[in-house]
Amino acid sequence: MSDKETIEASFFAAGRALDIQTLAKIIDKPKKKVDPIVQLLIEEYKERECGLEIIDLGDRYVMQVKPKYTDLVRPLAPKEVGAPMLRTLSMIAYHQPVIQSDLIDMRGNAAYEHIRELKERGFITAIAHGRTKLLQTTPMFADYFELESNDPESIKKKILELSRDQSGQSGLDQWLGRKVVAVTPMYESLMDMCGIDEYKVIKAYDPTEEEIDELADVHKMIISKGYAERVSKYYDGEIIEVGSTTFDDLIDSIRALEGVYDKIKAQDCIERLEELKERYASKALSISKRVQPATDMIARIINDLRIGVSANGVLIAPDYETSSLGVEVGKDAEILVPTHKNLDSDLIERVCKKYDAIIDGLKTLEN
């Protein structure tokens, strides 16, 4: 096997970025001999009609499936077959026959379960190959997905043909199916406010391996402000940070989803939120007591309610004992405002309960 073929095989088997030093050890050559070989491979993959590409990351290189080919089998598959399993099946179909251990290196341990189920459904066979197995599609796969032949070259040709037919991003999106929005559980009700029907609910701050796999389908990720850096460890798409403390926060959150929301439903919700904001300000007109907000969150609500502020006013704080920085905020507060950790309702109701807690608390103290 030549050095070029060895490096190509290394990229395929690794399923991750490899540096020059690692490649040099594999072919047992000086590092200065490796870069020209890799550059040649990069150009060859650019020139040929291939579903793979080799990317130069500066000090590392990685072989990956071109994004436009990743999920091309999805429209042909039954809806009950999840996207992660379809990606595993597409990798098998495109690269077959593929060694199971190589596939696991690329797709992760979750692929073991995918392989088991795909075998049970009759889509693939797994033949012993030393200590591992050799995977490839079956005639049932071809029949089920209405392909003319189960011949590996015919399948690969069909995938390439479909990708060329759906030229341009919009056409590709139609073929792959509409990419969805993902939200953390806290913001699920925001989807209804925006009229967004296609979305995933994912625990983005601490996702499972399966959820990380599903993020490949996600086009926008909706999270709370301040968590973008944490989420970017798992997700490299568009991250939209939103807030939900005040009515204005909710309005801004809806507007941040322009382009994916239902325009009429979103505008109706914005108008409702603006009306609620004014209604609560009117309810607070009779309050004469001045207040002392313990946090910026409380200060913003007080500003909406147009209540006077004083250093000697009624201390109002969130209902947690200490802040994320370890500072005590609610120890001597006369009014505690519920935070999202202690609220189970939708976003609008949560905001209303915060405003109600302040108004009701101050009216009780005045009486």
Q: Residue 234 in contact with residue 204, Cβ under 8 Å? A: yes
Amino acid 70: pLDDT? 59
pTM of the model: 0.53
Amino acid 242: pLDDT? 93
C-alpha distances in Å from residue 85, one per residue of 165, 216, 329: 24, 12, 48
- Nearest 5 degrees, angle CA 229-CA 231-CA 236? 95
Amino acid 357: pLDDT? 94
Residue 335 backbone dihedrals phi, psi, to 5 degrees = -130, 130
Average pLDDT, consecutive stretches of 10 residues, N- to C-terminus, the chain (367 residues): 86 76 89 89 86 78 71 48 70 86 77 87 88 87 71 77 46 41 89 85 84 75 90 85 94 90 89 94 93 92 94 89 57 85 79 94 90
CATH assignment of 180-267?
Answer: 3.40.50
Amino acid 190: pLDDT? 93
Six-digit token string for 39: 């550059």
Whether 68-171 shares its CATH topology with 180-267 is answered no
CA-closest candidate to residue 265, choices 219, 197, 178, 199: 197
Report the CATH architecture of 68-171.
Orthogonal Bundle (1.10)
Instruction: Return the domain boundaries, the chain.
Output: 3-65, 68-171, 180-267, 284-366
Alpha carbons 19 and 61: distance in angstroms, whole number: 6
Domain topology for 3-65: Arc Repressor Mutant, subunit A (1.10.10)
